Amino acid sequence: MAKGNPFLGTSSGSVGDVTLYRRNGAQISRVRVRQIANPQTSRQVYTRAILATISKAYSAGHAIFDHSFEGEQVPSGAQRYFLRENLRMLRANIAADRDANLEAPLSNPLVAKNAPYPVVGQYIVSHGTLYNSLVRITPGSPDHVGVFNLGSTPQTGDGFTWGGFYDSLGLEPGDIYTFVFFSYSSLRAMVSGNFVAEFGFLRITAKDLTDEQRLLTTAPSVSDFFSWSRSSNVNASTSDLDWGENRVDALSVRSGAFCQSLACIRSREDSGLRSSEKMVYMIGDDIAGDGGTYWGNVFDRWTEGLQLGESSLILEGGGF
């Protein structure tokens, strides 16, 4: 039985098959489905596999993702944004993999049913109005490992100063650059049909140079311009980063594995501003991994004898 006054928007509980509750100050109602007919349809199975993949990624990286979307309420609005945009993206990617008959390890990975770990992926990790000109990421390919560039290599000589180089990088004190990445275990351990993967981040924050420092003419290190912090499972620090090109082993987790999907988010201290970033694969021929779950074996991992179908959910592009 519902309690409260439905005309004043204060009701909670159920009236017949309608459930009433309040969220973010508003009264919400929804139909209570007592029995789902044929829950093992192709649409539902693929939706479950894709939703589980995105949910595992969010859970692993929620320390960043619950506030990485400019203008969204923290944490609920950011979570909804992450799930909505990544569901749309991953559904399109999986459909493209299937249409191209792209097999593992080149296809986009999915989590197996009941898998306790996330998988690497091209996740949308932030959205906002800032522009990140400092960090440029080149994705991997089947023939080459990806790299990321941190600014440019300082060219000491006539007229070179720390201040001039700092300004050429477009830095401002309080600028934050957060590298976010997923890595598979270096042991390639597999649990419940998926390789063990984990999320990590390294945050570097631009320092405010003194007048004396701005006049120095020697080549600065990254630690001269940035302070840093990291998640507890990450090995890297600013001493592992070089100006200019960096390989993926500059960012690793303590199991020894280096980043396999990577993005870098620009933000600012005491500001809700963010840059718009999406992870890219850094190991082009080692994404799903042989034996991992992908579109070609998701039937066996989740159910049997089904086909890929579009979601019936309106917010995922389905019809009425």
Q: What is the mean pLDDT of residues 206-228?
A: 96
100-158 tens-digit pLDDT = 998 877 888 899 888 888 999 999 999 999 999 999 999 988 778 899 999 999 999 99
Looking at per-residue pLDDT, the higher value among 13 and 160 belongs to 160
Looking at per-residue pLDDT, the higher value among 99 and 6 belongs to 99
14-62 tens-digit pLDDT = 655 556 656 666 666 655 544 444 455 667 778 889 999 999 999 999 9
Q: What local confidence, expressed as pLDDT, does residue 90 receive?
A: 95
Mean pLDDT of the chain: 83
162-204 tens-digit pLDDT = 999 999 999 999 999 999 999 886 655 666 667 778 899 999 9
Q: Could you identify the residue written with the tokens 């066996």?
A: 300
Widest CA span in the chain: 81
pTM, to two decimals: 0.80
Contacts of residue 175, Cβ cutoff 8 Å, sequence gap at least 6: 134, 205, 206, 266, 268
Looking at per-residue pLDDT, the higher value among 307 and 148 belongs to 148
79 sits in the region (left: phi over 0; alpha: psi -120 to 50; else beta) called alpha
Contact 104, 292 (CB under 8 A): yes
